[in-house]
Structure 1
Amino acid sequence: MTDATGETHDDYSPFGKPLFDDPLARALSRVGVIDVGSNSVRLVVFDGAARSPAYFFNEKVMCGLGRDFSQTGRLHPEGRVRALSAMKRFAALARGMGASPVVTVATAAMREAEDGPDFRAEVEAATGLRMWVVDGREEARLSAQGVLLGWPGAEGLVCDIGGSSMELARIADGRVGKRVTSALGPLRLQGVKGGRKGMKAEIKRVLAELVDTVGTDHKRLFLVGGSWRAIARIDMERRGYPLHVLHEYRMTTKAVQETLKYIESHDVADLRAQTGIGESRMSLVPLAALVLRQLVRAVQPREIAISSYGIREGMLYEQMPGRLRDRDPLIESCRFVEQKDARLPGFGRALYHFILPIFKGERESRRRIIRAACLLHDVSWRAHPDYRHEACFDNATRANLGGLTHPERVFLGLSLMHRYKNSRTGTRFEELIGILDAGQIAQAEVLGRAMRFGAMFSAETPNDLGKLDWFPKKKHLELRLTDTAQDLFGEVAQARFDSLVSALGATSEIKRLRPKARDDAPQV
């Protein structure tokens, strides 16, 4: 069934019915991934069957298995001891959390070290964990799949840098295309002869070969890996950027070059003090910076984006049923949160359709954020009333949500803040709100006040009781009420409606609406 906007309600177009109750989706409700890298060993347990799953557990140990590999060809002895200890702990933790399956994946250091097979057998004997050692092209594919987990429609080039290797993969149309691997990891570069000059020459030579396969002039370069995230964190510090969420952080090629100069001109200890980046990670940043400078010059991306999703998320994506992969991660995640935390699960959809006439001219990219806001409009109700608006803003801007740019995060947070509070003046979020332009701020306020009115007006499906009509050229808002809704439209609801009219800078009128038969009501 469709309404006046052309929306299909019985399948909640274009996303279909929520999948988190589907047995195939529930099978992924707690999945463990152990990533044995050249620099670190990490356990992540994903929880929640929404398209953008939550991190139930996340622990990393900086083992340095690939340290000194260029000189010895073997895993670092101390690194082996630390990695085995970490794996024993991770295996016990995963069992205790009921994570199933637990997939263990190992990359460059394990696949190339002379004693890699021995260590693999030692880990299996001690923990029962079977280690999947992937080659470079498979590592590139899994990392690219991690990016697709967060950006289903992503298009461009994925670059995943680890301690001992660097992979590139093209993505478009939801698929991974050409992919290549190289030895341009910072730990491996430490063994290049000729000092800094020799490293630059080697990086330039290898990248020229890689670019022959993956091409240049990409729409977007997605950076995956701890060294890239560290550089992005330094970029944030240099710019004074207020939102310290690395996922979906965007940089121009010019900004990247300026930050790389900034890194060159500052002592590593000073950079650590400014950013809080760990010593092991920061020690690799200067070498990673050399690679990034040449990478940007070689592939010539139009934009650079940081992805916190990589090989571990790619492993989860590998196990997702196809119809879950195709879903919008933002909408699925918001539905999951609403089902778990809202007072009236399902009301968010009804609220969306009730207020949609105000936004009927918006492009779909904005309407999906409006949809997400409606799904989240009531999930912070347990917070203290005096701080509920702050909890809403924090939850939206800091949440682990995929498919959401930084301006969209702030827009979502601001609209939810206005769901509970008319004024934003004097809040601690003014610097963050500055990420938006004046038009976006005004629209977020309208959305927040519209949700506030809709939620106060009716605890059921408000479309059965009233209808909003917005005439943008006349700047006129009409509310048509059924006879049965007259008692609901009390003075508090009237005040919320007037607040919405004020945010729109509009005139208003309240009319009578003939009630619909229940069978004709929109099925949301």
Structure 2
Amino acid sequence: MRIAAIDLGSNTFHLIIAEKKSAHFEVIFKINKPIKLSEDITKNNTIIPAAFYRGINCLKEFKTILEEYNVDIIKAVATSGVRSASNGEEFVNTVRDLTGIEIEIISGEEEATLIYAGIKASGAIRGKSLIIDIGGGSTEFIFCDKNKAYWKKSFDIGAARLMQKFWNSDPLSDLEKKNLKEHLDNTLKELIEFNKNFGAPHLIGSAGAFETFNEMIYPSSQIEHIKSTDININQYRELSNLLVHSTHKERLQMPNLIPLRVDMIVMACVLTDYIINNLNIQEIKLSTYDLKYGILSQL
């Protein structure tokens, strides 16, 4: 049996197809497309026309691929970019009418549950950990161990959303850093409070920006063959400092930094630094398994 997961993220649309074999699955195809569905979403809380049609055209392409692979079961989920947009339902209905793909708009908590399932399948969790999944529209946090998730929540502090609200200088100014910190202080009080008793020393980054961190620190790593791997925390700090203080032009020249993340990687650094510093994180780990793998594991 062939199964497929489609993850409609705020920046990137993902399609992954797997062959189901008894109790496990084997990935036979995967692709992602930089759609930027949340482009300028903070202005009027809508998916702008250009992003709307980029998303539709991408899903038409995905539909063709699904038919070529004779997929039996498809599960498509939409996250913050669609969930928070006033025309999100219109987007979902248009996709259904034009492609036949049924999209489920999931809550932030459901999103966090799928992320936990995906990362658990990667084998990345060891002891008490905090999972962080930095999206474009939202960021999910899950306190967990190998047995279960103890606390999970989604916040509207994705990299694209933070960029649109707080970042206008090149490079990021001291005032903008101050405003960002104050915003995170106010937003993440509950998370900081929970960890006072939980005490997670490990941070697990879910794909996305953390794959970029890994590839920039370890250029020879073959990310496509990795389920999970350690990222040296001191090397991460050096990279983060470089990225946060760099200009857009300087980042464009940096190896292993894809165009989609040239600017958003700075917001990912700000978020990650905040968590490391406020939770006294000792170790960082990357899981290349994320929400879409969580969908597959549930299928």
Select the residue among 180, 194, 202 that pairs with 1:199. Answer: 180
Give the alignment partner of residue 159 of structure 1, picking from 107, 132, 139.
132
Match of 2:47 among 43, 51, 75: 75
Equivalent-residue separation in structure 1 for 2:125 and 2:156 (angstroms) = 29
Following superposition, the deviation at residue 252 of structure 1 comes to: 3.8
Matched position secondary structure for 1:275: coil
CA contact (8 A) 1:178 1:214 kept: no
Match 1:208 to one of 164, 189, 195: 189
SS in 2 for 1:249: strand
Q: Counterparts of 1:435-446 in structure 2 under 5 Å?
A: none
Counterpart-to-counterpart distance in 2, 1:289 and 1:314: 25
* Greater RCO (Cα-Cα under 8 Å, separation 6 or more): 2
Structure 2: distance between partners of 1:30 and 1:248? 25
The residue aligned with 1:248 is 228
Q: Does 1:42 align with 2:14?
A: yes
Question: Is contact 2:115–2:291 with CA below 8 Å preserved after alignment?
Answer: yes
Q: Is the 8 A contact 2:119 2:125 kept in 1?
A: no
Report the TM-score, using the length of structure 2 for normalisation. Answer: 0.88
Of 218, 241, 259, which residue of structure 1 is paired with 2:239? 259
Q: Which amino acid aligns with 1:243?
A: S
Q: Is the 8 A contact 1:64 1:79 kept in 2?
A: yes
Deviation at 1:247, TM superposition (A): 4.0
Q: Which residue of 1 aligns with 2:285?
A: 305
Distance 1:307 1:87, change over 3 A: same
Question: Could you tell me how far 1:89 is from its partner in structure 2?
Answer: 1.4
Q: Show the counterpart of 1:168.
A: 141
From 68, 86, 92, give the equivalent of 1:120.
92
Q: Which residue of 1 aligns with 2:56?
A: 84
**Deviation digits for residues 18-44 of structure 1, max 9, x if unmatched?**
xxxxxxxxxxx4211111110011111
Question: Considering only CA atoms, is the larger Rg found in Structure 1 or Structure 2?
Answer: 1
The answer to whether the 8 A contact 2:83-2:105 is kept is yes
Matched, 1:236 2:236: no
Q: How big is the shift at 1:165?
A: 0.5
Partner deviation per Cα, 1:255-286 (whole Å, 9 max, x = no partner): 32222112234444444444233212222111
Q: What residue is the counterpart of 1:108 in the other structure? A: 80
Q: Distance in 2 between matches of 1:218 and 1:201?
A: 23
Q: 1:221 aligns with which of 200, 203, 209?
A: 203
Q: How many angstroms apart in 2 are the aligned matches of 1:61 and 1:114?
A: 23
After superposition, the CA RMSD in angstroms is 2.2
| Partner residue in 1 for 2:171 | none
**Which region of structure 1 is more displaced relative to structure 2, 110-119 or 274-283?**
274-283
- Compared CA separation, residues 106 and 243, structure 1 to 2 (3 A): same
Q: Which moved more, 1:204-213 or 1:263-272?
A: 263-272
Distance 1:184 1:141 in 2: 18
Partners of 1:212 and 1:113 lie apart in 2 by 30
Query: Match of 1:236, as an amino acid?
Result: Y
Q: Identity of counterpart residues, as a percentage? A: 20
| In 2: Cα distance, 1:153 partner to 1:228 partner | 15
CA contact 2:215–2:256 (8 Å) conserved in 1: no
**Counterparts in 2 of 1:266 and 1:39: CA distance versus 1, 3 Å:** same
Tell me the matched-pair count. Answer: 287
Deviations 1:363-385 (A, max 9, x none): xxxxxxxxxxxxxxxxxxxxxxx
Distance 1:121 1:56, change over 3 A: same
Distance, in Å, in 1 between the alignment partners of 2:93 and 2:279 is 40
Tell me the equivalent position of 2:109: 137
State the TM-score, normalized to the length of structure 1.
0.52
* Structure 2 counterpart of 1:366: none
Give secondary structure in 2 for the equivalent of 1:190: helix
